Chain A
Amino acid sequence: MTKSYSFYPGCALHASAREYDVSTLLVCRALGIEITELAKWTCCGASSAHSFDTWLGLALPALDLQEAEKAGRPLVIACAKCYSQLKMASHEMQNRETLDNVNHLTGGVLKNTTEVVHLLQVLNLDSPDFTGTVKRPLKDLKVACYYGCLLVRPKDVAGFDDLEDPQIMDDIVRKLGAESVDWGLKTECCGASLMVTNRDVVMNLSHRLLRQAKQKGADCVAVACPLCHSNLDCYQKDIEKVYHDGSSLPVLYITQLMGLALGFTPKEMLMDRHLTDPLPLLRSKGLA
């Protein structure tokens, strides 16, 4: 089984979600998974490109796929939206005509041969047994794994896990020694980029998620997407002002939790970059 991948970070991991980037690189290194950032990469188009122009939504990922093709390794992506964009484009371009048209637009020579996978698949499949490497089991920590709406959908494109009740992140959490909380909103929408244009919707959706996670006994939420993270983490004070039900919860990247379990310090995992401070929780569980 290959342990060498190209890595596409996407814009967020180099800016607001630096902690996701750093923790991903450190965890992969610790697990012996070699990931190399693509030399040249461009924005995946995120939630806007494809809604303006179908071809733009394909052409931008095509540029990145071509870089990956040059590198000749499977491409691993950490951000759920970037993953969805590139995976979907790769799926669409299995149609010869679409591929030719995209190559015509980009002036590229993409053959569309690169396998696109999400970070979770790599972490889960390539290191089937963490227990040996777990130095600091996350005992007594109850984690609600939040997948968001894109990660495992649609079935024919991503579909590496159950569409409505995915388990891949929960498996990792359990292997870290923590308890995965069974909750009902794993794949419900967080509001995504509506935070910019329709704040109330995001407040409502994020509140619903946090409230449910808290009700089911979670100490924190684990995510694998910078946008989910930002929606859940950044506005908890405002949410509390509106709903007054104390549904505040630390929101951590799954790789940060892994890093912690593998022996990295909270500082190395950049735990101080979250707006909802996870450190009191980690201290109370003896993890910081």
Chain B
Amino acid sequence: MARIGVFVCHCGTNIAGVVSIPAVLEAAKKMPGVVVAADDKYSCSDPGQSHIRAVIEQNKLNRVVIGSCSPRMHEFTFRKVMVKAGLNPYFLEVANIREQVSWVHSNDKEKATAKAIDHVRIAVAKVARDEALFPKKVPLTKRALVIGGGITGMQAALDIANAGHPVTLVERESSIGGHMAQLDKTFPTLDCSACILTPKMVEIVQHPNITLLTYSEVRQVSGFVGNFDVEIVKKARKVDAKKCTGCGICWLKCPEKVSAEFNEGLGERKAIYVPFPQAVPLVPKVDLENCLYIKYQNYVEGKSEGKRPMQCRICEKLCPVQALAWDQQDEIVKEKFGAIVVATGYKTFDPSVCGEYGGGKLPDVISGLQLERMFNSSGPTGGEVLRPSDGAHPKTVVLVSCVGSRDEQRGRPYCSKICCMYTAKQTILLKEHDPEVQCYVFYIDIRTGGKDYEEFARRAQEEYGALYLRGRVSRIYEDGKQLVVLGEDSLMGRPVEIRADMVVLATGVEANEGAAELAQTMKLSHDVYDFLTEAHPKLKPVETQTDGILVAGACVGPKDIPECVAQGGAAAAKVSALFSQEMLTSDPMVASVDNARCIGCLLCVQVCPYKAIDTQVLRNGRTVALVNESLCRACGLCPAVCRPKAVNLRGFTNQQLLAEVNALWQ
């Protein structure tokens, strides 16, 4: 026999200011099974909790209804009270009379009170049919996978590894470092990017807890928190990493030159190469599309036509340790992980779609990242700022912000967040490289939210003399050796024409190549711009809807380095907390199958978005559905489609839901 206690919380005046608490208590006392109804000023407070516990014990209650805020807020708190009072924590229902009543109906106290009573009534009807539930313990693999070797992923990997757990860091490119490795100096302190990044890269490769897989991609992910099965493709470098010493003779002598991706198309690299001198690991890879010997092999095997390519193999002849491994093939690594951190980063907007900025056809209109490579002493110009067209030092430079940001016409309405700051930084660096340079910046707004950011951007204007013009650029075209930039000064209300030697486009942040596909592989959701979606934009910024999978950094949305580092660390903290447990507790409020009723139609298998339903063959030979409790997210689709009503959601059974509806119409 259910002995139900109803506790109504005033929540200060949040609830009591609108809902008549005495009226709710009065009504509750008459509800079936209710033994006692009591109120508290703050049920969640220490005295409130003790009071509830005392009333439970005095009245020998076995079911509890609490009328308070949303269960998302304090259900967990009150479940702990239940346990302390010696009851099963699932004999509890929370009637939300704050968010769903007092906050939204503050203009009609009478109706609000009536609705609060209804909420309590349906909770009472439901709690009477609650069953005792017991969480299960499942084992977990204390090994983490971090996808993406940029600053975010590196930080996450280091923090998890330093907490004592083994980590595998997977990076698609042949070196870790990400975009940060491309930058010269970083705002707002102008410390050299390589100086702060390289030590971390080395720490990664030397850390005993970190396994580094570069030039590798995650192909498949299955399983659930604590027990993910992951397939990683280790692509063939054609170089034996164990033998290679990184001496560099191969890329020095390779005759084949290709446009350098790492330098954003400025300058060239070889067909066997490391992307940059500080690459980690310092092991080159063979570019399978451009290597002469690979081309020769393809020709011999009849895969390509035309002139017979040269059988080069100079790298192989010169390599002092015979590290070239032409027969090396892609390798598939299968491993179990307990948690996954996704830190796949971003790419920059491609400005060649912008006809007004020359559509990628004007050589002296470059992107912000290209300018970074020029600033860099190991970059294509050896650290000098030179016009790509004729190698001259530019004296007048126009910087255009919001290229591919805040542009609805091009489907990029969002702010990319970092461009205002990197543009300010670049005006400073341009001036430091050549004091005769005059910078002009076209902007919509100058967004400098961040510690020391506004001061930095002001310094660009006041100390370094960058002229900021509020307005958009409408056209850039060549006039002789110069570029003419047509724009608007919207503060002066007139058109502006600037003759410049070079134009730098502050290209915005976009979701990385393959972000949507990876999200699908891992069943993560993403927004219309393919940025991954966090579990809660404020309170769960690194969690996802899937337990055990975390997201961090710019794959979630535009972020600068400090934020990326913070998120990498945050994700690592969540992983460490998860790994601090010996066994995982699974939520018992999931779907379950009544084998006697199941007819084996397996409609539930088809509708389950989490692939949480399997089949089992009973001893009598019948095939029935079987819920994998660790995978089930309790979405409720399977009970809805189950024709013989064999599937039920524990804690939300069909009988309970019906009882709630019935109670509403009493």
Q: Which residues of A contact B (CB under 8 A)?
A: 155, 162-165, 182-188, 211-212, 215-216
Contact = CB atoms under 8 A, between A and B. Distances in A.
Contacts of B362: 184
A185 B479 CA distance: 11
27 contacts: A155-B409, A162-B355, A163-B355, A163-B409, A164-B354, A164-B355, A164-B359, A165-B359, A182-B361, A184-B358, A184-B362, A184-B475, A184-B476, A184-B477, A184-B478, A185-B475, A185-B477, A186-B355, A187-B355, A188-B486, A211-B479, A212-B477, A212-B478, A212-B479, A215-B478, A215-B479, A215-B480
Interface of B: 354-356, 358-359, 361-362, 409, 474-480, 486
A182 to B, nearest CB: 7
Nearest to A166: B355
Contacts of B359: 164-165
Counting from the closest, the 8 A-B pairs by CB-CB distance are A164-B355, A184-B477, A165-B355, A164-B356, A165-B359, A185-B477, A188-B475, A162-B355
A35 B380 CA distance: 58
B361 to A, nearest CB: 7
B355 to A, nearest CB: 3
A162 B474 CA distance: 15
Contacts of B475: 184-185, 188
Nearest to B486: A188
Contact of B477 (A155, A163, A183): A183
Indicate the member of A155, A165, A216 with the most B CB atoms within 10 Å. A165
A211 B478 CA distance: 11
Nearest to B356: A164
Contacts of B476: 184
A165 B359 CA distance: 8
Contacts of A211: 479
Given A184-B362, A188-B486, 5 more contacts: A155-B409, A165-B359, A184-B476, A184-B478, A188-B474
A185 B476 CA distance: 9
Chain B binding surface, main DSSP class: mixed
A186 B358 CA distance: 11
B64 to A, nearest CB: 58
A165 B353 CA distance: 9
Nearest to B352: A165
Contacts of A186: 355
A170 B475 CA distance: 19
Nearest to B478: A184
Contacts of B478: 184, 212, 215-216
B398 to A, nearest CB: 15
A183 B476 CA distance: 11
Chain A binding surface, main DSSP class: loop
A200 to B, nearest CB: 13
Contacts of A155: 409
Contacts of A215: 478-480
A33 to B, nearest CB: 29
A164 B353 CA distance: 9
A216 B476 CA distance: 14
Indicate the member of B475, B476, B486 with the most A CB atoms within 10 Å. B475
B488 to A, nearest CB: 13
B481 to A, nearest CB: 11
Nearest to B497: A208
A245 to B, nearest CB: 11
A161 B119 CA distance: 58
Indicate the member of A164, A183, A187 with the most B CB atoms within 10 Å. A164
A183 B478 CA distance: 8
A215 to B, nearest CB: 7
B557 to A, nearest CB: 26
A181 to B, nearest CB: 12
B632 to A, nearest CB: 46
Contacts of A183: 477
B377 to A, nearest CB: 34
A189 to B, nearest CB: 10
A233 B477 CA distance: 22
Contacts of B479: 211-212, 215
A155 B355 CA distance: 14
A215 B478 CA distance: 9
A188 B473 CA distance: 12
A206 to B, nearest CB: 15
A211 B480 CA distance: 10
Nearest to B480: A215
Contacts of B474: 188
B110 to A, nearest CB: 42
B649 to A, nearest CB: 47
A38 B199 CA distance: 77
Nearest to B354: A164
A215 B480 CA distance: 7
B486 to A, nearest CB: 7
Indicate the member of A183, A184, A186, A215 with the most B CB atoms within 10 Å. A184
A118 B359 CA distance: 25
B194 to A, nearest CB: 37
Indicate the member of B354, B355, B356, B486 with the most A CB atoms within 10 Å. B355
A243 to B, nearest CB: 13
A188 B354 CA distance: 14
Contacts of A162: 355
Contacts of B355: 162-165, 186-187
A188 B479 CA distance: 15
A215 B356 CA distance: 18
A162 to B, nearest CB: 6
A158 B207 CA distance: 60
A184 B361 CA distance: 10
Contacts of A187: 355
Nearest to A184: B477
Nearest to B474: A188
Nearest to A204: B497
A269 to B, nearest CB: 30
A169 B138 CA distance: 68
A194 B122 CA distance: 74
A155 B478 CA distance: 26
B499 to A, nearest CB: 12
A184 B362 CA distance: 9
Contacts of A212: 477-479
A215 B486 CA distance: 18
Nearest to B409: A155
A74 to B, nearest CB: 27
Nearest to B483: A184
A215 B484 CA distance: 13
A60 to B, nearest CB: 29
A20 B43 CA distance: 84
A155 B362 CA distance: 24
Nearest to A165: B355
A25 B400 CA distance: 45
A215 B354 CA distance: 22
A212 B478 CA distance: 8
Contacts of B486: 188
Nearest to A216: B478
A215 B409 CA distance: 31
Contacts of A165: 355, 359
B616 to A, nearest CB: 56
Nearest to A185: B477
Contacts of A164: 354-356, 359
A266 to B, nearest CB: 31
A155 B409 CA distance: 8
A268 to B, nearest CB: 35
Contacts of A185: 475, 477
B296 to A, nearest CB: 38
A163 B479 CA distance: 22
Contacts of B358: 184
A155 B480 CA distance: 32
A187 B474 CA distance: 10
A120 B567 CA distance: 53
Contacts of A182: 361
A244 B486 CA distance: 22
A57 B74 CA distance: 62
A216 B362 CA distance: 13
